[in-house]
């Protein structure tokens, strides 16, 4: 799909489908009235017949060729303008693209309803929505229908210069926003592919291979993959214990982005990469295990985000670190009651082998802290079911003791429309992690399970400014929405890019 900027009056645009955003009552909308007049009142008649009132997620399509150059008009309800949040443009872009595809339209014109400061963001979100709304994990679908290419080839963004010469700055602005939207969507789609791929294929070694392919495409990226032997030399006893039960070798993936100029900050992005979580000897019941190929969504997010970061550039030095392994049962697997020694020397008694993510991340955090000496660290992990109990399936839990860093991160989450909410790292819950035979144990009680996992990780972050994002819920969805079909979502990729990439 190609995105173009069309500078012309919407009424005379020559496209297969022209899309208008309608903010509530259509009869009060100037753009609508112009289209309705050109169509001899047929648009308002259709709206009346089909109860189209411009409410969010309402759509209306009608044939318009003859009076207009466009074959069809698509009206997209958006509710009251004052209530609209910018990220809703992702869904509007997705619905426009999907409607066009369904109708077999090859070209779409989207009349941009925003201007000024919102223009660039709106365009970026539309591009992201159109691309991500057409995302499909079709690798294993064999029917001809599933293999059919999207008929929609051209997505035009229409702004009207009203007969005046278009402003060069605005044209440049739209072009940059299109490129940014394309880079974000490409990274999110890549993360989705990595997540949706079955665990039989998406092993730690395969993830390392995928990361290497991304790093090879950009001169600013370099990559090191540490195998089990190297991790052992570094003393990563917690990380390695989790993968011991698997035939697949554990891999620590480390991608580095270096800016051309002296970096402002060094930022470490750490992802949980459990390519399949059976629970280990604390075995999950079958229904809870069914979707556990998604337990590497944090790793997928940080790896895929590096592609967009390299494309768009950043003034910071960025490190993506993914601790990848499989949590299985076998004669070699780690057991309950084992005491592990972590990379920083802390000893940990295992009272639940299903609380494996914090073990892998604990050592990955120590690796980041000691090998990189970052100014800031973020970790992304499908860490606890408790986080979903607390916040529901669409919202990530965010934990940090560093208020400023947390605030900056949340502002980026807000701007991109990814749902995140702060949970308190209440130190009183630390008590749950006490062990009689080791420095701590890996699991607390049921109460506050997302927070005790956060407190466990905090031990390894020491004083380095650090934010923990538990994305167990939003990493994958069973109820999709237009720009986010069922399956892996690529959650956090957009916010990571917003936080680190140049705008
Ligand atoms: N990978 C799971 C968490 C998870 C659950 C992610 C559902 C996505 C959807 C994690 O490793 C896990 O098993 N956590 C345990 C922790 C418990 C044993 C303290 C959990 O949440 O039950
Ligand atoms: Mn687990
Ligand atoms: Zn897990």
- Mean pLDDT, to the nearest integer, of 36-44? 97
Crossing angle of helices 204-216 and 297-312, in 10° steps, is 0
Q: 3-state class of 23 per DSSP?
A: coil
Pocket test for ligand 1, best of 323, 336, 385, 470 (most atoms within 8 A of CB): 385
| Average model confidence (pLDDT) across the chain | 97
Ligand 1: residue whose CA is nearest its atom 9: 472
Q: Parallel, antiparallel, or unpaired: how do β-strands 72-77 and 154-159 relate?
A: unpaired
- Mean pLDDT, to the nearest integer, of 247-256? 98
pLDDT digits (tens, 9 = 90+) for 408-455: 999 999 999 999 999 999 999 999 999 999 999 999 999 999 999 999
The alpha carbon torsion through 60, 65, 66, 68 (nearest 10 deg) reads 70
Would you state the structure tokens that stand for residue 480, as one six-digit string?
A: 């999709």
C-alpha to C-alpha distance for 389 and 447, rounded to whole angstroms: 10
pTM of the model: 0.98
Q: Work out which ligand 1 atom sits closest to the CA atom of 475.
A: 8
User: What's the pLDDT at 160?
Assistant: 87
Please give the CATH architecture assigned to the domain spanning 2-184. Answer: 3-Layer(aba) Sandwich (3.40)
Ligand 1 in reach of 355 Cβ (< 6 A): yes
User: What's the pLDDT at 497?
Assistant: 98
Task: Give φ, ψ of 161 to 5 degrees.
Answer: -80, 0
Q: How many CB atoms are located within 10 Å of the residue 426 CB?
A: 13
Q: 3-state class of 348 per DSSP?
A: strand
Query: Which of 33, 265, 284, 371 is an active site residue?
Result: 284
Ligand 1: residue whose CA is nearest its atom 14: 384
pLDDT digits (tens, 9 = 90+) for 453-483: 999 999 999 999 999 999 999 999 999 999 9
Ligand 1 in reach of 277 Cβ (< 6 A): yes
116 CB-near residues (< 8 Å, 6+ apart): none
User: What's the pLDDT at 502?
Assistant: 67
User: What's the pLDDT at 117?
Assistant: 86
pLDDT digits (tens, 9 = 90+) for 177-236: 999 999 999 999 999 999 999 999 999 999 999 999 999 999 999 999 999 999 999 999
User: What's the pLDDT at 164?
Assistant: 83
Determine whether 180 is an active site residue: no
Query: Which of 358, 369, 441, 458 is an active site residue?
Result: 358
Q: How far is the CA of 279 from the centre of ligand 2 (A)?
A: 5
Ligand 1 in reach of 248 Cβ (< 6 A): no
User: What's the pLDDT at 95?
Assistant: 98
Q: Work out which ligand 1 atom sits closest to the CA atom of 352.
A: 18
C-alpha to C-alpha distance for 488 and 480, rounded to whole angstroms: 10
Q: Work out which ligand 1 atom sits closest to the CA atom of 295.
A: 1
Ligand 1 in reach of 356 Cβ (< 6 A): yes
User: What's the pLDDT at 161?
Assistant: 79
Ligand 1 in reach of 182 Cβ (< 6 A): no
Determine whether 85 is an active site residue: no
Q: How far is the CA of 451 from the centre of ligand 1 (A)?
A: 13
pLDDT digits (tens, 9 = 90+) for 139-149: 999 999 888 99
Domain ranges of the chain: 2-184, 202-376+448-500
User: What's the pLDDT at 162?
Assistant: 83
- Mean pLDDT, to the nearest integer, of 364-374? 98
Ligand 1 in reach of 443 Cβ (< 6 A): yes
pLDDT of 239 above 80: yes
Ligand having the closest approach to the CA of 470:
1
- Mean pLDDT, to the nearest integer, of 68-89? 95
pLDDT digits (tens, 9 = 90+) for 109-167: 999 998 888 999 999 999 999 999 999 999 999 999 888 999 999 999 999 878 788 88
pLDDT band at residue 503 using 50, 70 and 90 as cut-offs: low
Could you tell me the fold of the domain covering 202-376+448-500?
Aminopeptidase (3.40.630)
pLDDT digits (tens, 9 = 90+) for 480-498: 999 999 999 999 999 999 9
- Mean pLDDT, to the nearest integer, of 91-97? 98
User: What's the pLDDT at 273?
Assistant: 99
Q: How far is the CA of 475 from the centre of ligand 2 (A)?
A: 15
Q: Work out which ligand 1 atom sits closest to the CA atom of 279.
A: 13
């Amino acid at each position: 799909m190609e995105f173009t900027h069309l500078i012309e009056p919407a009424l005379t645009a020559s496209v297969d489908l022209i899309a208008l955003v309608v903010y509530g009552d259509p009869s009060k909308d100037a753009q609508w009235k112009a289209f309705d007049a050109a169509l001899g009142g047929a648009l308002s008649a259709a709206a009346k017949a089909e109860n189209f009132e411009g409410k969010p997620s309402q759509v209306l399509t009608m044939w318009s060729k003859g009076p207009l150059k466009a074959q069809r008009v698509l009206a997209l309800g958006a509710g009251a303008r004052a209530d609209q949040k910018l990220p809703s443009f992702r869904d509007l872009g997705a619905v426009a693209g999907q409607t066009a595809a369904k109708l077999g339209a090859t070209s779409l014109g989207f009349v941009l309803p925003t201007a000024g400061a919102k223009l660039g963001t709106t365009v970026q979100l539309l591009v992201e929505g159109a691309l991500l709304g057409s995302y499909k994990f079709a690798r294993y679908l064999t029917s001809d229908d599933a293999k059919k290419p999207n008929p929609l080839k051209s997505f035009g963004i229409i702004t009207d210069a009203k007969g005046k010469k278009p402003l060069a700055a605005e044209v440049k602005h739209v072009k940059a926003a299109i490129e940014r939207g394309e880079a974000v969507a490409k990274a999110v789609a890549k993360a989705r592919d990595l997540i949706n791929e079955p665990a039989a294929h998406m092993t730690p070694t395969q993830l390392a291979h995928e990361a290497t392919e991304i790093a090879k495409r950009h001169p600013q990226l370099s990559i090191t993959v540490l195998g089990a032997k190297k991790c052992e030399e570094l003393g990563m006893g917690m990380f390695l214990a989790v993968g011991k039960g698997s035939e697949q070798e554990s891999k620590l993936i480390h991608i580095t982005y270096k800016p051309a100029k002296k970096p402002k900050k060094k930022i470490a992005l750490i992802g949980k990469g459990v390519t399949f979580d059976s629970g280990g000897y604390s075995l999950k019941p079958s229904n809870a295990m069914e979707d556990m190929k998604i337990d590497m969504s944090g790793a997928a997010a940080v790896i895929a985000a590096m592609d967009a970061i390299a494309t768009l550039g950043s003034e910071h030095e960025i490190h993506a670190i993914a601790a990848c392994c499989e949590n299985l049962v076998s004669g070699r697997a780690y057991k309950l009651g084992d005491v592990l020694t972590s990379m920083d020397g802390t000893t940990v008694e295992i009272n639940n082998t299903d609380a494996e993510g914090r073990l892998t991340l604990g050592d990955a955090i120590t690796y980041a802290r000691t090998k990189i000496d970052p100014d800031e660290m973020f970790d992304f992990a499908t860490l606890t079911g408790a986080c979903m109990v607390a916040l529901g399936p669409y919202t990530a839990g965010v934990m940090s003791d560093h208020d400023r860093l947390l605030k900056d991160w949340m502002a980026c989450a807000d701007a991109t429309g990814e749902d995140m909410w702060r949970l308190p790292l209440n130190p009183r819950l630390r008590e749950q992690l006490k062990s009689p035979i080791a420095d701590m144990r890996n699991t607390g009680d049921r109460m506050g399970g997302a927070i005790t996992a956060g407190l466990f990780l905090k031990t390894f972050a020491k004083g380095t400014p650090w934010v923990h994002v538990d994305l167990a819920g939003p990493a994958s969805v069973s109820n999709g929405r237009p720009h986010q079909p069922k399956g892996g979502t690529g959650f956090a990729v957009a916010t990571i890019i917003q936080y680190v990439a140049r705008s």
